[in-house]
Chain A
Amino acid sequence: MELGRVVGKVVCTVKDPKLHGIRLLLVEPLNHRLQAVAAPFVAADSVGAGRGEIVYYETAREAPFAFPTVQPPIDAAIIGIVDTVQ
């Protein structure tokens, strides 16, 4: 998993049926000093994160497990909202 910051959202009306009801957020990857290290990408939100919040996300084959019953075709999923980073 890695740290990220929610910086926006993406809306798709026409999409894979398994994605219906899943929010798609723009996430900016961060380093341990919470500085942006790459361009934003799109991640499926499984915890109800809002814009500006620091989150952690998982990528690749494990991302669909954030939605175990649905297993949508996603390669990035937000799985937690960070309270503190020490």
Chain B
Amino acid sequence: MRLGKVVGTVVATQKDPKLTGNKLLVIREMQLDGSLKEDFSVAVDTVGAGVGECVLVCAGSSARLARNLQDCPVDAAVIGIVDTVEHDGKVVFKK
């Protein structure tokens, strides 16, 4: 899984019917020094994450194992809101 920061939301009225009711978040991958990578991705939110929060993103077909995404056309899901990240014994991120 990758650490990411929620930087926005996506609203799509015209979309696959199975995606109805799912919140779409814009995620930029977060590096351990807190900086954000250039590229971003869109992930389905399953834990109620808000903009600005650091989240854990599961990518690939395993994302469909998240809550009520069983047969949704989804390849990225936010599966957790990060409280702390410890790297080499030091807390590098704290909510």
Contacts and interface: CB of A to CB of B under 8 A. Distances in A.
A13 B81 contact: yes
Interface residues of A, number: 33
B64 to A, nearest CB: 8
B19 interface: no
Contacts of B86: 8-11, 26
Interface residues of B, number: 33
Interface in A58-86: 59-61, 63-64, 71-76
Contacts, number: 100
Contacts of A64: 62, 65
B85 to A, nearest CB: 5
B22 interface: no
Contacts of B80: 12, 14-16, 19, 24
The 6 nearest A-B residue pairs measured at CB: A15-B80, A12-B80, A73-B66, A8-B87, A73-B65, A42-B1
Interface of A: 7-19, 24, 26, 39-44, 51, 59-61, 63-64, 71-76
